[in-house]
Amino acid sequence: AQSVSQHNHHVILSEAASLELGCNYSYGGTVNLFWYVQYPGQHLQLLLKYFSGDPLVKGIKGFEAEFIKSKFSFNLRKPSVQWSDTAEYFCAVTRRSGNTPLVFGKGTRLSVIA
């Protein structure tokens, strides 16, 4: 079965620290990749997405992610986090062909402290 793994359940960082959240998926073939964020009390919103082309994608609020096909990974990065980045982050993957749903990782809770 397809699965998406997010290695860190809870990450605590100080403001201005760099962030990297891991995401690995289990199935081959051509995939579409997403990172979503859920701020406290708000609904899920898209941070960034990868469909094809440059494997380094830039999203909103200074986030970026790199697709490494050989490692089945799509890690999320931000050079300098802010208190307002405190949220839960979800990686999601769907296969480009066939009829597979969007599969989410279990999420990583990020707490940024001043």
Partner 1 sequence: KAGVTQTPRYLIKTRGQQVTLSCSPISGHRSVSWYQQTPGQGLQFLFEYFSETQRNKGNFPGRFSGRQFSNSRSEMNVSTLELGDSALYLCASSFFPLAGGNDEQYFGPGTRLTVT
| Residues near partner 1, by CB under 8 A | 32, 34, 36, 42-46, 49, 51-52, 90, 92, 94-107
Contact 85, 102 (CB under 8 A): no
Give the nearer residue to partner 1 in terms of CB position, either 99 or 114: 99
Q: How far is the CB of 90 from partner 1 (least distance, A)?
A: 6
Q: How far is the CB of 15 from partner 1 (least distance, A)?
A: 27
Give the nearer residue to partner 1 in terms of CB position, either 78 or 107: 107
Q: Reduced to 3 states, what is the DSSP secondary structure of residue 17? A: coil
Give the nearer residue to partner 1 in terms of CB position, either 105 or 112: 105
> Which contacts of 38-43 are long-range, i.e. CB under 8 A and separated by 24 or more positions?
38/87, 38/88, 38/89, 38/90, 38/107, 39/86, 39/87, 40/86, 40/87
In Å, the largest CA–CA distance within the chain is 46
Give the nearer residue to partner 1 in terms of CB position, either 17 or 32: 32
Rounded to an integer, what distance in angstroms lies between the CA atom of residue 91 and that of residue 59? 13
Q: How far is the CB of 114 from partner 1 (least distance, A)?
A: 26
Q: How far is the CB of 84 from partner 1 (least distance, A)?
A: 20
Q: Which tokens hold the place of 33?
A: 């990749």
